[in-house]
């Protein structure tokens, strides 16, 4: 991009010269300057809407090498230093907008993770909404490099989430996150970012603290999370650690009234599911058992999780597109896990400390199947509901796949190696540390929301 030219005084004197060659020289200079300005303006104009080239840094070290210092201020609690330059909210200036997205030429969900020395909006000290098993820093995670990356879509600039602008847009509105524990993970990230502008008051929680409601009094904004892991009616026999005592009884023709009864109260919602459909389950339709998933010895037809998930999504999208309540709905795609050398119950772990590049990590077959079903059913629903609600895709699957470094791992528990540095502990390679990569999901939500408002 050509630099702006500044002139504090006229470089040419207005004094009349008597000599012809002086006049001729001045004329040549003026012609040259005009041509230079014309070329400069042409370059500047042609670059609008294009992605500025990313300057290649001479320092090729990991962001962890440039991370801010860690301070142990209390036993068993760590925090990273934050200065005023880190917690600066993005402004609304034209260069900070995603110009190409507005013309339909930019895909926010294709890109890579690039170093971001500014770090996250908040710390594990400045936000009180972080649950213990996601507070990786307090629990003793020693590395901090995973905090210094941001999502960079190909072909456009993605501004950082602007909490002040978001709360202003949400004045007198209500928003719900509807789904499983990943949805709760997401809402906690949003709460932490918004808390830098206004602290929310918790108004409600269920017995198990899985569903909650918060209120931001200064903006009269209500934020909810509704725990409904299947989104459809299900009888679940799991304890708080996810251990099942019996098969899930899943009703493929009935939505979970926990969220449908509240649907009309929401101006905005993020709906997501998926992972729970991998559990052993018996499928019901019309009050009869029609088949199952992974139920050997039951003398039932193995229909597979993909059959149930597709049916559930069709039921969900039919409800949304058939409703006369005009709300803005994000559908978030499935979240991949990063267990290696086993699963969550068999010693699987996630010890990586830097993001992966495209092509370095493969998506698991079950995640490919789920995402394909999601994209197919979403496309059908978006066509049917184009004239009613505002249904938007939040396709976080592939960008999340590239962040095997962002999970609590063994640090889902407080100081897991304090007594035994070789202790065998259960790892969490599905949920996300806070702060962590999931914060970038809110950048995407904000961008889609703002651009959609521009086009209403």
What is the spatial distance between Cα 63 and Cα 137, in angstroms, rounded to a whole number? 17
What is the spatial distance between Cα 3 and Cα 193, in angstroms, rounded to a whole number? 35
Three-state DSSP state, 359: coil
Question: Phi and psi dihedrals of 204, rounded to 5?
Answer: -160, 150
Q: Which helix (H) or strand (E) holds 22?
A: helix 20-46
248-285 burial code (b ≥16 CB/10 A, e <16): bebbbeebbeebbebbeebbbbbbbbbbbbebebbbbe
Verify whether residue 428 is a known catalytic residue.
yes
Positions of E strands within 228-344: 232-235, 248-255, 268-271, 281-285, 288-293, 328-332
Verify whether residue 431 is a known catalytic residue.
yes
Of 431, 439, 440, 443, which residue is the catalytic one? Answer: 431
How many CB atoms sit inside 10 A of residue 395's CB?
A: 21
Q: What residues are paired with 238 via a beta bridge?
A: 244
Q: Interhelix angle for 365-384 vs 305-322, to 10°?
A: 20
Of 174, 181, 224, 440, which residue is the catalytic one? Answer: 181
Q: Which residues contact 261 (CB under 8 A, 6 or more apart)?
A: none
How many CB atoms sit inside 10 A of residue 122's CB?
A: 24
**Contact status, residue 96 vs residue 157, Cβ threshold 8 Å:** yes
Q: What secondary structure letter does DSSP report for 287?
A: T
**Contact status, residue 90 vs residue 158, Cβ threshold 8 Å:** no
Of 367, 395, 428, 439, which residue is the catalytic one? Answer: 428
- Residues carrying an active site annotation: 181, 428, 431
């Amino acid at each position: 991009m050509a630099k702006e030219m500044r002139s504090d005084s006229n470089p040419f004197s207005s004094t009349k010269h008597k000599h012809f060659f002086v006049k001729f020289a001045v004329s040549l200079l003026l012609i040259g300057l005009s041509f230079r300005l014309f070329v400069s303006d042409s370059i500047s104009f042609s670059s609008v809407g294009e992605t500025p080239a990313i300057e290649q840094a001479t320092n090729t070290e990991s962001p962890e090498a440039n991370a801010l210092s860690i301070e142990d201020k209390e036993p068993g609690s760590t925090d990273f230093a934050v200065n005023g330059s880190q917690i600066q909210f993005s402004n609304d200036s034209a260069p900070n907008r995603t110009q190409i997205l507005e013309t339909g030429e930019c895909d926010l969900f294709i890109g890579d993770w690039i170093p971001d020395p500014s770090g996250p909006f908040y710390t594990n000290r400045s936000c009180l909404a972080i649950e213990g098993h996601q507070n990786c820093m307090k629990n003793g995670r020693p590395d901090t490099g995973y905090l210094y990356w941001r999502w960079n879509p190909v072909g456009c600039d993605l501004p950082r989430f602007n909490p002040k602008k978001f709360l202003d847009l949400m004045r007198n509105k209500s928003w719900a996150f509807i789904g499983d524990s990943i949805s709760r993970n997401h809402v906690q990230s949003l709460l932490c970012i918004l808390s830098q502008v206004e602290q929310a008051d918790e108004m409600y929680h269920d017995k198990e603290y899985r569903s909650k409601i918060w209120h931001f009094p200064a903006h009269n904004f209500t934020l909810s999370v509704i725990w409904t892991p299947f989104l459809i009616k299900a009888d679940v026999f799991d304890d708080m650690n996810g251990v099942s005592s019996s098969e899930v009884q899943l009703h493929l023709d009935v939505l979970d009234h926990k969220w449908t009864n509240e649907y009309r109260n929401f101006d905005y919602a993020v709906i997501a599911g998926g992972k729970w459909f991998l559990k052993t389950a018996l499928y019901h339709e019309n009050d009869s058992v029609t088949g199952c998933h992974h139920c050997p010895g039951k003398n039932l037809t193995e229909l597979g999780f993909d059959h149930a998930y597709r049916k559930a999504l069709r039921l969900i999208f039919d409800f949304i597109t058939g409703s006369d309540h005009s709300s803005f709905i994000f559908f978030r795609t499935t979240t991949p896990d990063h267990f290696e050398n086993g699963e969550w119950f068999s010693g699987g772990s996630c010890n990586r400390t830097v993001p992966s590049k495209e092509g370095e990590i493969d998506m698991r077959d079950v995640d490919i199947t789920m995402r394909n079903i999601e994209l197919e059913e979403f496309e059908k629903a978006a066509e049917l509901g184009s004239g009613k609600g505002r249904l938007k895709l939040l396709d976080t699957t592939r960008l999340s796949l590239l962040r095997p470094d962002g999970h609590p791992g063994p640090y889902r528990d407080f100081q897991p190696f304090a007594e035994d540095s070789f202790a065998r502990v259960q790892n969490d390679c599905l949920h996300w540390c806070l702060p962590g990569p999931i914060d970038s999901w809110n950048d995407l939500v904000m961008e889609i929301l703002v651009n959609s408002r521009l086009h209403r």
